[in-house]
Every structure is written in C-alpha cells, then in structure tokens.
A and B are shown apart, each in its own frame.
Chain A
C-alpha cells in the first residue's frame, strides 16, 4: 500500500529515460517500477507526461517582507508550484533586507507554511549598500547557502575580495548581479540602436562584462565559489566560457526573458519590458541560447520579480525593473530552446539544486529513498499564458496571450500533491 502513485509517466532523470510508476509514502519515494499496485493510493495520472525531479529556481523575488501587495511568500510559492518548482531561493532585496538572523528566520518560517521548499539567500553586505559585510557565518548556520546583493553588484573591489575570502571558509556561494553602477547610471534599457531611437538612457553591455572580468580575476585569486546571475550579453557568455575552460569554480544562470525577448520590445514604451539587466540584442539572445546548449550556462532562472500594476504604469524611466516568470519558465524553455528534455531538466532542476545546496532533497534522481519532489508535465500540451498572469499577486508578465508548448500537470512537494491537473491544491 502506498500513499500516492504517479501512474503511466515517462521518467527522465540523471539515470536515464524510462516508463515507470513512482510510489510515494510520506515524503519519500519508496518504489519506482512498472505497473505498481495503486490499491488504496491517491493516483496521479502521468500518461503523456514526463515525470521529472521538481524544478529549482535560484532567483526568485518574493517581496515579503515589505512589499506584500506585489507578492507574498505564500503567493509566490503557489506560482512556483504551478510552474513545476518544488524549491526556490528567495532574493534578499526585501524591506528590511535579508541580512540578519531575524529576517532569515522570518522568511524560512513563512516558507514552511507555503506550498514549496522556500530557501533564502542573504545579502553579502549590510542593507545591500556595499560597505559592510553581513554576518555571513551566523546566517550560514541558519542554512543560507547563497549570498548576493542582487539588484546591486558589489561595487567596491576590496569589499568583493574580502567577501570571497570569507565565503570560501564557510563553503557558501556568492552570487553576483554584475553591473558597474558608474557605467549604467541612469540607464533604463540596453544601450544601442533602440535606446538611441527611443531617447531612453542606456545600460551598455560593458557595465555587466567589466564586473564579470573583475570577479573572475578575484575568483582566481581567492578560490571562492562564485555564481553569476542573469547573464545577458554575448560578451558575458564568452567570458564565462573562457573561465570554465580555465577551471575556475564558477557557475552562471540565464533568465527565460534573456533568451526569448530583445530590446526592440521597448518600442511600445510598456514598462512590462523593463528589466535589469535589460533585454539586449538578438545577437545576445543567440549567445545566451548557445551558452545554455553548450554548458557554459548552468542554470535557467526566473528572476521572478513581481510589481504591482500601478508601479508598472509609471513612465518607463520611473517604473521598477522586473518581470514575473515562475509559471512560464518551463513552457518557455521547452518552446523556445531546441534542447532535449533531459537538458532542460538539468538547467531547471538538477544543476540549480546542486548550486543551491539542495541536492539532498531536490533535483533527482527519481529513485527509491529520495525525497518526493517531483514535477509532472506534458511536453506537448499547448496553453495560452493567462491575461491575469496566474497565481502571482502581480501581472507583469511580458508573455500575456502567448501560446507555449509544455504544461505542468502535477507538482509533488515532499510527497504532497500541491498541484493536481494544473490546479493548486491550497
């Protein structure tokens, strides 16, 4: 007798690709095999579907504490599980900043009541102001594995060196939002053909690339584990490719919007297309896709960044940057990337689970004895992105009305079916 049986699906994980049922008791996978007896069990129909390990988002803005009208930990987690995510790493740019034990504990406690496994990153520097290290050891002891000033890059060279040296001792990862503020100052979109035409101040690709160059030099000096967030330029991908060839302990992510949209979208002046780093050129989009295909980029992240409708109806230069993305990430990846499903799952689940320090319970493989964190999706189902944007409290998706191929059917978090037939169960 099992609590729950996922029937008739095609399992794709690190061990291969096969048709088998998955039996779950409590929070664990207890049996994987053909035609398991489902007498008395809750049956999850996975016919036509892929059964993969749950997705892991390394880059989610949950807005709580401080901006609960845009998103809460609970609403964000609901959007996450509808998108197939079983774990996420919250970004620390809340109000107050996640830079103290109290705020870390607040997020983790609220996360426990939510629909998925909510982990949090914490700031590298106090208040993300760049001039004083956050108590990284204390926060690491609470379980924080990723430190980032996301929204800002650490500007001061020496501060970044010290953070890397200190982080190396703690075996935590530093995740950098790469942007040299003095080069991007005032910029609202990619600097180039469209910013020039539209009369909007630009952010040059070099604002990102110069910081990557510095951080690669410092990674080489310190040996710290470094993760580069939301790569957006062809030059950035080339720098990472070279660094990996040299064997540096670095990883990188790209967002779904940076491989699907270009700066030409800004011609509408709709702030839904404002994001940081900005949408770049079609050459950059191609380079990101190539980086995802050849392993230069390890992770697809959402940079899910909810904003209220009134904030996104400000003039373009005054509106806050960011797009929501949890519910569209898998569909966009399957639709837009010409990659095999196991490669998509590596980018969305296996590899981010490792970087987040969650590979004990997330990111597969799907075998007996592992925690039951599972995403069941139909890779051929077509669906239209809703006008309302879905379960997020915010609606700032640039993909409204777009038809995607690949739909999440069921999501299992530690044995609980939190999404059944594409409907959140709580």
Chain B
C-alpha cells in the first residue's frame, strides 16, 4: 500500500494490521515522553484546503510522536488564494521535501488526483462526501476496544448519510470487520442509490435503537434546510435526534458515537453526549495512535510490512527515548 485514499485500500486484513499497530502506539502515548524515533528524518505535510482543526492537529501530533518533521500548508496563508493549481502546489511541496502528504479538500477525489501527481505517500484526511478513512479506522478501533470485536455487532449510523464522507468510510470498515450496519435517515438524506451497499435502511429511529450495539450519530448541517432536504431542524430533531428518551431505548452495553463537532440539541442531546456510554472523547483520543499507525505503515520500515508487527514490537521496546 503506497497511499491511503479509501478504506478499500486496506481491506479487512489491512484494517486488522492498523488496529494491531495502534495498540503499540497507545502504549507509546501513555509514556511520560510519548515519542519514538520511528520516522526520524521523514517529513509529513498537511495540505488542508478546508478548515479542520481537530483532524489536522491529530495528524500533526501523530507525526511528531513518531519524530517526523511536520509542515502545514494551510490555504488561508498560501499562494492558493492567488490561484495556484493543486498540481503546482503538490510539486512545490515535493520540491521542498515531503514523504507523506495529508490531504483534506471539500471536493471528492482530490486525494486521488494528488496521488497521481505526487511521489510521496498520500493520506486522505477527508474529501468531499467521499471518504475519511482515518476517521473510520479510529472509530473501528474505539468500538473494538469498548465491545471487544465488531464481528456480529449491529451498528446504526444515524443522520445525513448522503453528504457524509465519515459514513461512506465507516460503512466499508464496519462491514469489513463483520458488523451489520443500518442507516437511519429520511430518504432525502440518503444517497440516491444504495446498490451494492452492505446496509439495511430504517426511517424509524425508535424501533432501531433497541437492536443496536452502537448508535453512531452524524452531524446535521443547517444548510440542509435551504436545500429542502428537511422541513426544519426542529422536525429533524424530533424524528432523528438522539435525545434522552431515545437513549434509554439502547441496551445497557450499547455505546454512542459522534465524529464531532457535535451540534448539541440538534442531532444529539447534551445529556446524551455526556452519558457514560458516550465514547466521543475516546474517539478523539484514539485518533492520534491510529494516525501514528497509518503513518508508520506508509512511511516506516513498516511500509513493506503487513505481517511484521512482531519485529516492530521488539523494535519499539528497544527505542524508548
């Protein structure tokens, strides 16, 4: 694997690989000096065409904990505003020196285009409505830690699936790891075609919630109303918001997830977000070691690995800094 553009690039074996490696990096993150020299001398560039403080910080923290050098190319302060093409920007970044480029763009497919032009490894940090594979990996890791395994689990993804890159990546990852997925949304917020999608569909949250192990709530954006996708946010919240009454329908062991940032009071009630079975903060915390694992797989001695975790683990023992 040279790039991580889609969950399809990993498959179930690849996801297993990332999750196993993540365990090692969780251990690193718990040390008093949470840093290993695994990517010393490598440069990781964040190329973010869309604001995303949390994803960018998470990637940069991951890179730094691996001792990589980091550069940030943020649109507001760059020549992109002067109309530079993405291809020229990528060439500039590579001329300065980059081993990995982490790309976020509001248009679907930009990381794939960048991968065609770059010799560096390209990591998709979210493209349009298409995919956000590292979010899916950290979500999968979080579920695995809380529930033991995804095999045979039932996961509801609730809300605006149509415009969600998180949903597209998560559906692939959850399915690859053996979970069954139910999408809960009005038809206006579902993709026009679900041909070939390994999902069930429900328009009734109340009847779905008692059957799930995970209630994964998506962010509901206000502009969807002006597109006549829902009549009002109030009506959306009435039908699909995860309020306390609905959260009580969940089983004792079920967990609540959200990719953030949350609209408290819209798709999720404040009280629900703060319940003990909400793992929202775990998701963010796990983002760093998951992204360390991805960077290490693409750039480390692990770029040829997949199956050499044991040797990596012993290396980790010997390289405490």
Interface residues of A (CB under 8 A from B): 191-193, 195-202, 204, 268-270, 310, 313-318
Measured CB to CB, the closest approach of chain B to A61, in angstroms, equals 23
Of A193, A270, A317, the residue contacting B107 (CB under 8 A) is A317
**Complex CA distance for A268 and B107, rounded to whole angstroms:** 14
Interface membership of B291, Cβ < 8 A: no
Quick one: given A313-B87, A313-B113, A315-B86, are A204 and B192 in contact (CB under 8 Å)?
yes
Interface membership of B10, Cβ < 8 A: no
Interface membership of B302, Cβ < 8 A: no
**Complex CA distance for A281 and B193, rounded to whole angstroms:** 13
**Complex CA distance for A313 and B86, rounded to whole angstroms:** 8
Q: Which are the 3 A-B pairs with shortest beta-carbon distances?
A: A269-B109, A199-B129, A315-B107
Flag if B113 contacts A199 (CB, 8 Å). Answer: no
Measured CB to CB, the closest approach of chain A to B182, in angstroms, equals 17
**Complex CA distance for A199 and B107, rounded to whole angstroms:** 9
The residue on A at minimum CB distance from B191 is A196
What A residues does B131 contact at CB under 8 A? 199
Of B86, B108, B195, the residue contacting A200 (CB under 8 A) is B108
* Contacts of B187-211 to chain A: CB distance below 8 A: 191-197
What A residues does B108 contact at CB under 8 A? 198-200, 269, 315-317
What A residues does B196 contact at CB under 8 A? 193, 197
The residue on A at minimum CB distance from B109 is A269
**Complex CA distance for A196 and B86, rounded to whole angstroms:** 25
**Complex CA distance for A269 and B87, rounded to whole angstroms:** 15
**Complex CA distance for A148 and B110, rounded to whole angstroms:** 34
Flag if B112 contacts A196 (CB, 8 Å). Answer: no
**Besides the known contacts A197-B191, A200-B130, 15 further A-B residue pairs in the complex with CB atoms under 8 A apart:** A191-B193, A192-B193, A193-B193, A193-B196, A195-B192, A196-B194, A197-B196, A199-B128, A200-B128, A200-B129, A269-B109, A269-B110, A315-B105, A315-B107, A315-B113
Quick one: given A198-B130, A199-B128, A199-B130, are A269 and B192 in contact (CB under 8 Å)?
no
Most buried by B among A192, A198, A200, A270: A198
Flag if B168 contacts A199 (CB, 8 Å). Answer: yes
Of A191, A202, A268, the residue contacting B112 (CB under 8 A) is A268
What B residues does A316 contact at CB under 8 A? 107-109
**Complex CA distance for A193 and B196, rounded to whole angstroms:** 8
Binary flags per residue of B101-127, CB closer than 8 Å to A gives 1, else 0: 000010111101100000000000001
Name 23 A/B residue pairs within 8 A (Cβ), A-sorted.
Answer: A191-B193, A192-B195, A195-B193, A196-B192, A196-B194, A196-B195, A198-B108, A198-B130, A199-B131, A200-B128, A200-B129, A200-B130, A204-B192, A268-B112, A269-B112, A270-B113, A310-B87, A313-B85, A314-B85, A314-B86, A315-B86, A315-B108, A317-B128
Of B86, B105, B107, B192, the residue contacting A191 (CB under 8 A) is B192
What A residues does B87 contact at CB under 8 A? 310, 313
* Contacts of B61-89 to chain A: CB distance below 8 A: 85-87
Interface residues of B (CB under 8 A from A): 85-87, 105, 107-110, 112-113, 127-131, 165, 168, 191-197
**Complex CA distance for A204 and B131, rounded to whole angstroms:** 22
Flag if B129 contacts A193 (CB, 8 Å). Answer: no
Measured CB to CB, the closest approach of chain B to A9, in angstroms, equals 44
What A residues does B194 contact at CB under 8 A? 196
What A residues does B110 contact at CB under 8 A? 269, 315
What B residues does A197 contact at CB under 8 A? 168, 191, 196-197
What B residues does A204 contact at CB under 8 A? 192
The residue on B at minimum CB distance from A185 is B227
**Complex CA distance for A317 and B106, rounded to whole angstroms:** 10
Of A192, A270, A317, A318, the residue contacting B192 (CB under 8 A) is A192
**Complex CA distance for A191 and B194, rounded to whole angstroms:** 12
The residue on A at minimum CB distance from B87 is A313
**Complex CA distance for A195 and B108, rounded to whole angstroms:** 10
What A residues does B191 contact at CB under 8 A? 195-197
**Complex CA distance for A270 and B128, rounded to whole angstroms:** 15
What A residues does B129 contact at CB under 8 A? 199-201
Measured CB to CB, the closest approach of chain B to A300, in angstroms, equals 29
What B residues does A317 contact at CB under 8 A? 107-108, 128
What B residues does A200 contact at CB under 8 A? 108-109, 128-130
What B residues does A196 contact at CB under 8 A? 191-195, 197
What B residues does A268 contact at CB under 8 A? 112
**Complex CA distance for A310 and B83, rounded to whole angstroms:** 11
What A residues does B113 contact at CB under 8 A? 269-270, 313, 315
**Complex CA distance for A268 and B127, rounded to whole angstroms:** 14
The residue on B at minimum CB distance from A204 is B192
**Complex CA distance for A204 and B194, rounded to whole angstroms:** 15
Flag if A315 contacts B109 (CB, 8 Å). Answer: yes
Measured CB to CB, the closest approach of chain B to A183, in angstroms, equals 12
What A residues does B86 contact at CB under 8 A? 313-315
**Complex CA distance for A191 and B162, rounded to whole angstroms:** 12
**Complex CA distance for A64 and B146, rounded to whole angstroms:** 63
Quick one: given A313-B86, A313-B87, A315-B86, are A198 and B109 in contact (CB under 8 Å)?
yes
**Complex CA distance for A196 and B191, rounded to whole angstroms:** 5
The residue on A at minimum CB distance from B107 is A315
Measured CB to CB, the closest approach of chain A to B11, in angstroms, equals 17
Measured CB to CB, the closest approach of chain B to A235, in angstroms, equals 16
What A residues does B165 contact at CB under 8 A? 199
What B residues does A201 contact at CB under 8 A? 129
Flag if A318 contacts B193 (CB, 8 Å). Answer: no
**Complex CA distance for A316 and B191, rounded to whole angstroms:** 18
The residue on B at minimum CB distance from A199 is B129
The residue on A at minimum CB distance from B196 is A193
What A residues does B85 contact at CB under 8 A? 310, 313-314
Measured CB to CB, the closest approach of chain A to B47, in angstroms, equals 13
The residue on A at minimum CB distance from B190 is A196
